A and B are shown apart, each in its own frame.
Chain A
Amino acid sequence: MLTRRIIPCLDTSDGRVLKGRQFREMRDVGDPAELAARYDATGADELVLLDVTATTGERPHAAETVRAVRRELTIPLTVGGGVRSVEDAERLLDSGADKVALNSAALVRPKLVTALADRFGTQCIVVAIDALQVGEKWMVRARAGSEDVARDAISWAAEAEQLGAGEILLTSIDRDGTRSGFDVALLAAVTSRVSIPVIASGGAQDASDFLAAFGAGADAVLAASIFHDQDTTVGELKRTLAACGVEVRP
């Protein structure tokens, strides 16, 4: 049976791992390769590497960081940030990525999702959605949360699936770095609209949050702060989840 995944996330810029709160107040938390090795050793199921300044800074993702992380990893690596073309994706896969995540570029040019899926297969293409709650709805923000694109997050997730995305990485901007739990309502709204796997992101604090996310239909859960700050390890978290009846890779 397919197990639920725990995915540490490395937000990087200029070869360092950063972590912020609601996409702001970035602080340095370490070296990407060192953190990757630690998470691999403690039972992470995958790793996500997002260059958080690639799009806003208009420069490509640092392939060197991807290579350094790949050398440390025996598990899958998803890379995102600044992917704007098939060539960008090819370069990342050639540097050590196994999946590529699209965000801003997919909003501007939805056909890019289809072009990438046709070339590399849907299982290789992740569409990352940064959602901000506005009244009763969740709206998509582009360019690392800085730009309002006037799109409903739920319908964009459904459209991304139709375009060829194999997975949705769903981040609640409101919860990012706050440790106030995942936005379970957002998660349930998206998982009920799409049939591809959904990774929940933003707000993880403890095992009960992960249980709630899985209960809302998440296939995987992404977290950064709690692992970077060593509040817990992936292994410890998995043991707690397993004791609660969640199927995880031992």
Chain B
Amino acid sequence: MTRSIAIVSTGTANVASMEAGLRRAGAETFRTSDPDQVADAVGVVIPGVGTFAAAMKHLRETGIDDALRARFRSGQPVLAVCLGLQLLGRTSEESPGETGLGIVDLDVVGLPEGATRPQLGWNEVVPSMPGMVECGHAYFANSYCLRSEAEDWQPSHAHHGDQFLAAMQRDRQLACQFHPELSGAWGVALLTRWVGAC
């Protein structure tokens, strides 16, 4: 059966690319701003473009923030991409005073001084243990990142100026600092594994 994945509409993201990527991975998709659909979908994607404050404001106004927190608590499948990963944190240096979803007890920080910012391009991802994420090159487009690891999540790392968190996985929940939908055949394979787990 084809799985229908909900993509959270944030009004700031490259949603068409995410749709194309998920279709390649064998899924159907729909866009939603409805918290009930976010609660009930077999899989939910938090896509990746925009600023931390703009995205959180949208999630709060629509009530999707609480629907997402409930999904994370219950272990339902979620894929959070780029900014989506950062929204799982508590705060971000990008938007001082704004609070994130607080799924993990980590704060989003800027990439180190001296490293080109934003990081735009392909970087090597190395998982700490076998999981959905395999070794390979992924496409990044970010100025901010998580530097440390969250309890109960399997980390993968990359290096830009310093080591940072490239991805983290907890069972069927996957958060990627890179864009799997823009990461060539390697990214399609990763999306296919996540869709298969939904």
Contacts and interface: CB of A to CB of B under 8 A. Distances in A.
Interface of A: 1-5, 40, 45, 67, 70-71, 73-77, 90, 93-99, 118-124, 166-167, 195-197, 219-220, 249-250
Contacts of A219: 116, 120-121
14 contacts: A2-B123, A2-B140, A3-B123, A4-B121, A67-B16, A70-B16, A76-B17, A93-B13, A121-B50, A121-B83, A167-B118, A197-B120, A219-B121, A250-B137
Main secondary structure of the interface of B (DSSP, over half): mixed
B33 interface: no
Interface string B143-176: 1000000000000000110000000000000000
Interface centre among A5, A67, A75 (most CB of B within 10 A): A75
Contacts of B49: 93, 98, 120-121, 123-124
Nearest to A73: B20
Interface size class of B (residues with CB under 8 A): 35 or more
Contact of B143 (A1, A40, A90, A123): A123
Interface of B: 11-17, 20-21, 24, 49-51, 54, 83, 116-124, 137, 139-143, 159-160, 179, 182-185, 187-188
B40 to A, nearest CB: 25
A5 B184 CA distance: 14
A122 B143 contact: yes
Contacts of A96: 14, 16-17, 20
A123 B118 contact: yes
Contacts of A166: 118, 120, 141, 143
Interface centre among B14, B50, B139 (most CB of A within 10 A): B14
Contact of B14 (A5, A67, A93, A195): A93
